[in-house]
Structure 1
Amino acid sequence: MAKTEAISLSGQPLPHWITFLQAHQITSWHDRSCPDSLRYLGFPLVSSIAQRDAFCSSLLTTIQSSCAIHLTRSLFIRGRATVLNTLILSRLWHVLRVISVPVSFLDKVKSVMGQFLQHRMFPPIKLSTLCLPLRSGGLGVLDPSIQQGALQLRWLRPLCLSPHSTSGLVPPWLSFLLRYHTSGTDPQLTLLFHDLRPPDLTGLAGCFRNIFSAIDRLPHDFSSLAPNIATCLALPLRSVCLPATSTTSFPPSWQHLRVEDAFLVDPSFDVLCRRAPADFPRNPLILRKFFKRVDSRDILLQPFLVRAFLPSHILQLNYPSIPSRSGSSINASPFVCGLLPGIPWSKLKPRMYRSLCSSSVSPPLSSTLSSSQWRIFWNLPIHHHVRNIWYRGLHHKLSSRSLLHRILPGPFPTDSCPICEASTDTPDHFLFSCPLKIDVWSTFWQDVFGSHPTLPILHDAFYNLSFPYTRSSDIHAASLFSCALLAIWRHHWSTVFDNTLFVSSTVLSTASRLVAIFKAEKSLDDLACSLAT
């Protein structure tokens, strides 16, 4: 009994229960007045916001400690992404499957993730870029906000497939709660549309909070749907409106209104039509303002609702590719299927979910590499250190003086090159066109490729992975290029931090030594492979 812990399910202190339990040697009691939550199977059973915040703070500290430990390892940026996804954030993934956490906590986690991934790298690449797939120029880092939604699929799929006949342990319970709190409304419509969700299901402790967030993250493009009239009338009024401009907003007073409050069925043609002001069932002032904004084109109506004003034969004539509306009862299936165009819900996997959610928020990439070129880049036989440099350069985030001056004009009052001190230190100047560096490239290129490089050739090699034929058949051209790049990088920063001279012959000597080391390592790898076979 000494290990037994009791918890108040309501969160309220219950003195009579405390006395009863103490009489049976159960002294551990948890309610909302306790500073910390009870843990069960690694999940916090929170009774108050303070307990939730205390748990989140503890979890964030654990993540920060794990990051500090792994920063002592010599991991390149892609290796850090793998460690982050699989080790450092593993406990977070376990918790997010069940527990709802505030957005502010996830923002703090993202900040820690960015600092870990780009430790000692400046300027940083946006975390949203690093969360893109490898083939798109990212690192495949899992975005905690999107991953939380992906972890809800085990509950969301059964509810979207068949909310009335779910199987298993948890889905039937969720289905019952959903139907109980949405009597008179199709439960699937409650899943899809925010204004139909009762407060009892959206509260802090509600089990549907994460499920609703997961479905809200999916792209809601219903423009090509053709729901029947009964379904259109059951929808929230705000959900059938589109903003005419980016500044258009919908007032909170519309939240409780339905389409049936503003429109009704014309039985002659089985189409929707506007209600006359005298027929408004409630809130006539709000509905008058609504139609005034519609008439002035301040707001637009969803295409599927506009098509509900057309008779079926005209609809089929003008929109042959859109299925004709059918049925006289509320049917949410067109909207459920519309969330995943061409994809059955039974086939929706976490990776596919993340891809769908990321496609709507992906930032424009600064790199011009195609998917196949990114695949080539990640497979290039180059040193991990130089891959970090190259990756940053492809995203235009190298620490050139011009970029540093633009971001931090105080510490970097000038944008001139610290090596030649004569030109603006642009990324191309930083890598190639500085007079001392172009001398290194010219000599090195002549030795390994047998030709004289021009700036466009060097630019093409770095940014487009286009390399000339190499004299040495046993080593990849990118490997040779990376050795010169790494040598120039090291001597550049040695000049900046140690005040050493940038001497072309010394840089070439370093590049030659890196090539020799690379060849020796490759010979050992080839020997190991031959012995293994």
Structure 2
Amino acid sequence: MADTQKEALLRSKSLAAKVYNQALQTGCFPPSWQQLRVRLLPKKGALTSLKNWRPISLINCDAKIFTRIVTKRLAPILHKVIHPQQTGFLPGRFIAENGLALQLIMEQAQLQQKPGIGMLLDQEKAYDRVHPLYLEKTMLAVGLPVAFVDAIKNLFFGNRIQININGYFTEDIYQQRGLRQGDPLSPLLFNLALEPFLLSIMNDPAFQGFVFSPSSLPPVGPLPPAIKCMAYADDVCVFLSSLTDFTRLQDHIQAYTAVSNALFNHHKTEAFALNGRRHDEWSAILDHHTIPRYYHRFSPSGFRYLGFPICYTDHHRKQVEQHLLEIVKTQIKIYSQRNLSIRGRATIANSLILSKVWFALRQLVASSSFFQALVKIISAFVGGSSQPRISFAQMCQPMENGGLGLLHPKHQQLAMQLRWIGYMLRSDVSHSFLTPILLHHLSLIPGVPPDPRQALFFPAFRQGPLCELARTARLWFTAFDAIPVHLPVHRANVSNCLALPLHHLLILPTSHWLHKTKYQRLLGDSFFIYDDHQHSLRPRIPSEQPRPRYLLRRLYRDLLAVSPRTVDLQPWLWPLIDVPLNPNVNSSLDPLIQGFLDDPFWSLSDNKYYRSHLLPGSLPPYKYPPRVIKSFWSAPMSPYARTIWYKILTQRAPLQPLLAILHPQDPQCVHCHGEEDLAHFVYLCPKKRPIWEAVLSRHLPLYFLRPSILLDFVLYLRSPPSYLPLAKALTLFSAILHKLWSAHWNLKIHAVPFHELTITKSINQQLSSFD
């Protein structure tokens, strides 16, 4: 039988390869590939209009596999052809690059009071209006083979379509234009169709766009090229600095629509002030062109770009935060109706609830009150309302350490900033158009060194408006400070020493004035100089010292003093004193930053590993044996039983002494009136111990467990004897704990008698369901 299946599989693979190669080389396809079923999905707006329905094509699997293969092979080629500012559906490009670029441009425009606007262009039925002849000419223009272009044209524009309306199919409709939505290749083809429009704007010398400006002259580092537009799929954002730009944009739109069959909706296009101020001149032009939405700081709310919330004011930000909290509450209301264990609720929270806010939090600088409210909501959902509550920090611990693996919202937001930090530090991501914008943003910080990345490594340089709490850079700095790696300054060469902060080159007393923040910004070249005559590094003599001269002269005397000597050079700096300056040695900080990136943290680092460093106690060694805790989460047991046992493991069982504090009453055991602790509550009570013994004697008759071993296992998950079947023991003990817990609280709350025989019978019945 197995040989027959293997032979059939080989024949199928051979046939599929033959069909796919023929389709690619000759443009001949099986008839089923061009028979499409279309389902209409509702969009925003009145559903009485066909414009507000999105057609999704249902394509045969073999045809979809073919276009998936073509997409996989075509994407790396188009990555070299399509401009980096078009970020959709290409390897190594990311939608959030556009969102962050817009955020940084607006922060810089507000800082420098640039009067331009941005426009979010809306195309009507963008995929459906692509003309086959225009797409063919575009594909040929970028150098794709004629045979390939013919095959794609025949596949996408020779289809017969039937539309599914309430379960009924229409008659065949012959498709004459448009890319089928739902096909893996369609996004790449649309990228190609849009590229000429974007390039016409970018290559227009009369179109200025947003021009990056330095904070001082000479500028700190090179300026990024002006950014005129960027796109993700059919969402195009254009930056206009003057009325000339607006006029040129209309010319490019007119030319593009004439050749491509595209249609732009002015009434759905949105405009926004880059610096937040409303300009009457721009408002009049937008009104004249029936563009109704013009966002600025006095608008009732901010706007969204690619789903990212863009806020001008704290009021706008609070609106977004409240909206996100309402989304989370709605999701919790839905999932609270399900019978889930505490681990199940944590999984739901991570994958289906908190996932609703991650996209916005990638760049939204949310307030601490928002995170407090979010943590409170999620904690109540996962932990339930019973007392005592499991702490949120315990829930966020890794599952290997007895936690629930719940994602801490603030920690996850910081972890998402690692991507941007990598862009700034790694040279291998220079292909992203965002990298120079990130570095330029750092260079705008007042007093930053020539290499603006020093603001990441040395907090003293973080000053000025761009470093305020509500600014994007504050997220980067907070995330960077949590990285458990330091810049290896001991590897510095002579040139590096002059560029590093002075206090890192010296051994100083704790109370020394160089430890004050304003003096931590002094660089090595303020005190040291490379002497071209002696060919060595030396301290500046008093007449060569810049400001603050008095303090630097005092430092000079302290360094040369014999006794008492309070200041000294770092041990690694002494060997560099007599080393000649090598002009071939890299004078930038790149070698030191590369040493920083060579730390094992980066080779191991992912978001989970980084988050573990943010949460105390979440790194190995863990408190539970790996085999046991893994089996605890995977062993068959009811959701309620797993939750009960977890509360016992985390010492959060509602014992009488605690309840007596919360609700004054007798702190003794309700069964035997003895002193109640966790061991007594679970096993040692004379009313409960016989139940354990009866159940264990029936289901584990060949195994004898001393009470101390049993309690160690139940209370702390310490490894049981090797002869005990672990999975069976976990299922068995969970059932006992479940029924004892229920009977205990039925007695206490509802006065239901606690009968050992009834409880034992109920446990045995539950265990039979797992057999």
The normalised TM-score by structure 2 is: 0.56
Q: Which residue of 2 aligns with 1:362?
A: 616
1:288-315 per-residue CA deviation (whole Å, 9 max, x = no partner) reads 99999999xxxx99x9x7233432699x
- 1:271-329 deviation line (CA, Å, top 9, x unaligned): 777x788876334677799999999xxxx99x9x7233432699xxxxxxxxxxx9572
CA distance in 2, matches of 1:58, 1:419: 49
Compute the displacement of 1:252 (Å). Answer: 4.2
SS at match of 1:435: coil
Which residue of structure 2 aligns with residue 375 of structure 1? Answer: 630
Distance 1:215 1:435 in 2: 56
Decide whether aligned partners of structure 1 residues 410 and 142 sit closer, same or farther in structure 2, where only a CA change above 3 A counts.
closer
Deviation digits for residues 400-443 of structure 1, max 9, x if unmatched?
Answer: 223445xxx242455322332222x2111111111111122222
Retained in 1: the 8 A contact 2:342–2:383?
yes
Instruction: Tell me if structure 2 keeps the 8 A contact 1:218–1:339.
Output: no
The correspondence for 1:30, drawn from 270, 288, 295, is: 295
**For 1:191, what is the secondary structure of its paired residue?**
helix
Query: 1:464 pairs with 702, 705, 717, which one?
Result: 717
CA distance in 2, matches of 1:105, 1:293: 50
Percent identity for Structure 1 against Structure 2: 28
Question: Distance between the aligned counterparts of 1:276 and 1:503, measured in 2?
Answer: 92
Unaligned runs of 5+ in 2: 1-265, 579-583
Q: How many equivalent pairs are there? A: 490
Q: 1:266 to 1:108 in 2, by over 3 A?
A: farther
Cα deviation for residue 231 of structure 1 reads 2.7
Counterpart residue type for residue 372 of structure 2 = D
Q: Could you say which structure has the greater relative contact order, defined with CA pairs below 8 angstroms and 6 or more residues apart? A: 1
Task: Write the letter of the residue equivalent to 1:141.
Answer: L
Partner residue of 1:170?
434
The separation in 2 between residues aligned to 1:292 and 1:52, in whole angstroms, is 53
Q: How far did residue 75 of structure 1 move?
A: 1.5
User: Alpha carbons of 1:341 and 1:238: their partners in 2 closer, same or farther (altered >3 Å)?
Assistant: same
Instruction: Report the alpha carbon displacement of residue 464 of structure 1 after superposing the two structures with TM.
Output: 2.9
Q: Report 1:129-148 matches (<5 A).
A: 129-148=394-413
1:492 aligns with 2:722: no
Q: Check conservation: 2:635, 2:727, Cα contact below 8 A.
A: no
Note the 1:332-351 alignment, pairs <5 A.
332-335=590-593, 337-338=595-596, 341-342=599-600
For the pair 1:449 / 2:714, whether they are aligned, the reply is no
* Corresponding position of 2:285: 20
Q: Which amino acid aligns with 1:48?
A: T
Which piece of structure 1 moves more, 154-163 or 483-492? 154-163
- CA drift of 1:466 comes to 4.6
Measured against aligned partners, the alpha-carbon deviations of 1:479-525 in whole angstroms (never above 9, x if no partner) come to: 22222111111111111211223222222122122122332xxxxxx
Find the residue that maps to 1:2 and give its secondary structure: helix
Q: Which residue of 2 aligns with 1:113?
A: 378
Alignment of 1:21-420 (within 5 A): 21-162=286-427, 166-178=430-442, 185-197=450-462, 199=464, 201-203=466-468, 206-222=471-487, 225-236=490-501, 251-261=516-526, 281-283=546-548, 306-311=570-575, 327=585, 329-335=587-593, 337-338=595-596, 341-342=599-600, 352-363=606-617, 368-405=623-660, 409-412=661-664, 414-420=666-672
Aligned partner of residue 92 in structure 1, secondary structure: helix
Q: Secondary structure at the match of 1:436?
A: coil
Quote the residue 2:677 is aligned against: 426
Three-state SS of the structure 2 residue aligned to 1:100 is: coil
Cα–Cα, structure 1 residues 416 and 55, in superposed 2: closer, same or farther, change >3 Å? same
Aligned partners of 1:81 and 1:117 also within 8 Å: yes
Indicate the larger mover: 153-162 or 381-390. Answer: 153-162
Amino acid at match of 2:764: S
Partners of 1:96 and 1:12 lie apart in 2 by 25
Residue 174 of structure 1 aligns to which amino acid in structure 2?
L
Q: Which moved more, 1:153-162 or 1:28-37?
A: 153-162
Contact 2:488 2:596 (8 Å CA) reproduced = no
Q: How far did residue 266 of structure 1 move?
A: 9.2
TM-score of the aligned structures, taking structure 1 as reference length: 0.78
Q: Distance in 2 between matches of 1:500 and 1:356?
A: 50
Deviations 1:160-204 (A, max 9, x none): 1128x7113323433444457688522332332222346354346
Question: Secondary structure of 1:44's match?
Answer: strand
- Structure 2 CA distance for partners of 1:388 and 1:271, relative to 1, 3 Å: farther
The answer to whether the 8 Å contact 1:189/1:196 transfers is yes
Are the structure 2 counterparts of residues 333 and 371 from structure 1 closer, same or farther at C-alpha, using a change threshold of 3 Å?
farther
Gaps (5+ residues) in structure 1? 315-325, 520-533
What's the C-alpha RMSD, in Å, of the aligned pairs? Answer: 4.1
1:467–1:477 contact (8 Å) kept in structure 2: no
